[in-house]
Structure 1
C-alpha cells in the first residue's frame, strides 16, 4: 500500500520512529554509484544533477535533506511507475537502479510520502529499444510476468468468497475470508502499485487518504468488520466496488512494464512494506492479520529474487549468499508464529509482544539491506 505509512508529527519524532521501527540510517545503501544522477530531496524541492541522460541502466543517488520521510519515483507521463525508492529518512541516502528507454519522464519527490510530489521533467535520449541484457534475464522477466498474472487470477475466487460474505451480511464469514483474499495482492503489490490508480482505491488506509478522497477498499471493510462489527448497505456497495477494482487489476497485470531492475526494486519495496506497515501493526490495525501480509510480501520478494539469482549470483556471489541466508532466517522467524504449518494461519499480531516485534524488525532490516543492492547486481 503506497500511502502514509508512518505518521509524520515532527522531524525528531519521525527520525526516532523510523530508526526504531525500520532500522533506517544513513549507512543504508549510502555509497553513491559512479556516474549516478544525484537527486536531492527536501521538504520543498526535488533537484537533479541533470535532467537529460542516455537510455539504458540509469543509477540515481538520492539524498533526503528534508525534515520528513520521503520517497522518489521515476514516472511515465501517465504516472505509471518506472522505478521507486520509498521510506528515505531525513538525513539519509539511498541508491536506485532502473532500466529506462528513451522518452519523456518525471521524477517526483514526495515529502511525508503524500500527494503528487514535487516534480522535475526529465528527458531520456537514445534508442527506444530495450538495453542489451543476458538472455537469462529475459527468461526471468517472462517467468515473473507469468507468476504475477497467476497471483491475480488466483485472487479473484478468494475475493469472491470475501465479497459474497459481505453481500450476505455475514460478518464472521467475511472476517475468515478477509486475509486470504489479500495474499496474491501482497505478493505482487509493486506491480499493482505501478498503475498508479488501483492501489488508492483498493488498499489505502484511513490515514493515507488524500484531501477529498473517498475511503474504499479492503481496509474500509476491515474497519467495518472488526471495529464496527456490522455490514450495512454502504459496506455491501463497497464490496461490489472492491470486486470491480480487483477485476480491473487482474485484467491490467499483463500490461505492466516489467524489467529485471523493476523486479529487483519491487522485491526491496515489498520489504519496505513489511518494515513500515506490517511490523508496526499499522497495516491491519483492526483485524491484526499483519503476519499473513508479512508472509505474502516476503514470498513475493523471494520469488523475484530467485528468478534473478542465476545472473545475480554470477555478478555478485557474495550478495546472493547473504540473501539466501537472510531469506532463510526471516522464513524461520515467521514459522514460529504459524498456528497451522500447512496453511496461512498465523498468530493475531496484537498477541505479538514488543520484544518479538523488535526481533522481526531486525530480521527484515537484515534482509532489506542486501536486497537494496540486487538491482545493481543484475544490471552489471
Structure 2
C-alpha cells in the first residue's frame, strides 16, 4: 500500500538563505541603491560584475546571454550549495537573493547546459551580519518548526530506505518495486536539504543521463533501472547498501545545520522547478514511471514550507497568502484526478492533454511562490 503524502514543512537550509525570482517585481535594498550584482551567463563565460561584498543580503541579476539553458550557483567551501537559480532560458534574466551571514571564500558558477562543475569564479564575503532568525520571533519559530520536520522526514527516509534495500538484497523484486515510490516520498520532500550539502544529491538521486565523466551510477535511479529494466545485477546489493549509507549520512548532516526562513522560501520555489523540469515531463522515473508520486511530494513540500511561514506572510501580505491557497488547491484538485488507490497513475497512462494541464497549473503556482522570499525579507 502506498500512503498519501502528508502535508509538512520543506525547504533548504544553511547559513545562507536564497531565493530565485523572475526579473521583475519588488526591488531589494541592494537594487534600490544600485548594488545588485550583474551576471552575464554565456555559453563559454560567466562574467560576475563584482566579486566581493559585505555579509548580509546579496542580489545577483543573472542574464543568460548564451544559446543554452543555464544555471547559476553560489558555493561555499567543499562545494556546499548556498544558493542556486535553475532553468534560465536564453535571453531570460532571473534574480538570486542570498543572505550570507558569515565572512568567507565562496565561488560563483554558471552552468551552461545545466551540466558539469560550471564556469567558476572566486567570490569573497567580508564581515558578519545578524541572521533574520535572531531578530524576528516569528521567523525563529518557523525555523524551529521546520527543523523538527526535517528530523522527522530524514528519520522516515532512513526507515523506508532500509526496507527498500532489504527487499532488493533479498531479490524480492515485486516488494522492492512497491517500496520504491513510497521511499522516494520522503526524499522528494527534503531534496533541497540534500542539495545544500553538494555531494549527497548526486550519490542518491543522479539520473543516468546526468552522469559526469568519472561518476558512478548509484542511488535510487540505478536501482530503479535494475528493477524495471535490466533485472537485478551482481552489484545491485552493494549499490543498495551504499544508498542506505548515503541516506544515513544525510540524516546526520541535516541535524547539524539550522534552517533559515529565506532558504525555506527559496526551497519552496526550487521544488516547483523540480516538478516543471523533471516530474511533469516524465524524465525523473523513466523506468518505473512513478513520477506522479514525486510530483505530489514536491508540491507537498512547497506547500508545507509556505505553511511554516504562514504567520509571517499573513501579517505582511494577506493577498499573496490567499492567492497561494487558491493555487495550491488547484494543484491538489488536479492531482487527485490521477490518484489510484493509495498511489497514482503511471506517467505513461497520462494523455498529452493531461500532461499539459499539470504543467499549466504548476506554472500558475510558481509565480506567487517566487514572491514569498521578498515578503519574508520584509521588502
Q: TM-score with structure 2 length normalisation?
A: 0.89
Question: How much does 1:350 deviate?
Answer: 0.5
- Provide the C-alpha distance between the structure 2 equivalents of 1:311 and 1:358, rounded to a whole number of angstroms: 33
Query: Does 38-47 or 171-180 show the bigger shift?
Result: 38-47
Three-state SS of the structure 2 residue aligned to 1:59 is: strand
Give the C-alpha shift of residue 316 in structure 1: 2.7
Determine if contact 1:55/1:127 at 8 Å carries over to the other structure.
Answer: yes
Question: Which residue number corresponds to residue 15 of structure 1?
Answer: none
Q: Say which of 186, 189, 192 aligns to 2:191.
A: 189
- Residues 39, 62 of structure 1: 8 Å contact kept: yes
Q: Which residue of 2 aligns with 1:99?
A: 99
Uncovered stretches (5+) of structure 2, i.e. residues with no partner: 1-20
- 1:162·1:177 contact (CA, 8 Å) conserved in 2? yes
DSSP 3-state at the match of 2:108: strand
The CA distance in 1 between the partners of 2:151 and 2:121, in whole Å, is 33
* Whole-angstrom distance in 2 between the partners of 1:140 and 1:60: 26
2:365 alignment partner in structure 1 = 367
* Aligned equivalent of 2:179: 177
Structure 2 counterparts to residues 203-218 of structure 1, below 5 A: 203-218=205-220
- Asked whether the equivalents of residues 36 and 58 of structure 2 are also in contact (C-alpha less than 8 Å), the reply is yes
Q: Calculate the TM-score normalised by the size of structure 1.
A: 0.88
Are the equivalent residues in 2 in contact too, given 1:43–1:68 (CA < 8 A)?
yes
Q: Could you tell me which residue of structure 2 aligns to residue 76 of structure 1?
A: 76
Query: What residue number does 2:270 align with?
Result: 269
- 1:222-233 mapped onto 2 (5 Å cutoff): 222-228=224-230, 230-233=231-234
- Counterpart secondary structure, 2:323: helix
Structure 1 unaligned spans of 5+: 1-27
Contact 1:57-1:379 at 8 Å conserved across structures: no
SS at match of 2:289: coil
Q: What is the CA RMSD across the aligned residues, in angstroms?
A: 1.5
Residue 126 of structure 1 aligns to a residue in which SS?
strand
1:352 equivalenced with 2:350 (yes/no)? yes
CA contact (8 A) 1:71 1:85 kept: yes
Matches within 5 A, 1:28-67: 29-31=22-24, 33=27, 34=31, 35-67=35-67
Aligned residues: 349
1:379 paired to 2:377: yes
State whether residues 165 and 173 of structure 1, in contact with CA within 8 Å, keep that contact through their aligned partners in structure 2: yes
After superposition, give the CA deviation of every residue in 1:4-26 in whole Å (9 maximum; x if it has no partner): xxxxxxxxxxxxxxxxxxxxxxx
User: Greater relative contact order: 1 or 2 (C-alpha under 8 angstroms, separation 6 or more)?
Assistant: 2
Say which SS state the counterpart of residue 125 (structure 1) adopts: strand
Q: Deviations over 1:130-174 (max 9, x none)?
A: 256421111111111111111010112211221111111111111
Aligned position for 2:293: 292
Aligned residue in 2 for 1:6:
none
Give a deviation string over 1:192-239, Cα, whole Å, max 9, x none. Answer: 1111111111100000000111101110111111112x2232111111
- Superposed CA deviations along residues 165-189 of structure 1, whole A, max 9, x for unmatched, are 1111111111011111111110010
**Separation in 1, partners of 2:373, 2:118:** 24
Shift of the 309–97 alpha-carbon distance from structure 1 to 2, 3 Å rule, reads farther
* 2:56/2:129 contact within 8 Å kept: no
- What do residues 22-52 of structure 1 show as CA deviations (whole Å, max 9, x unaligned)? xxxxxx7122732422222111111222222
Aligned 8 A contact 1:70 1:86 in 2: yes
SS at match of 2:235: helix
TM-superposed CA distance for 1:128, in Å, is 5.0
Contact kept? 1:166, 1:236, Cα under 8 Å: yes
1:257 to partner: Cα distance = 5.3
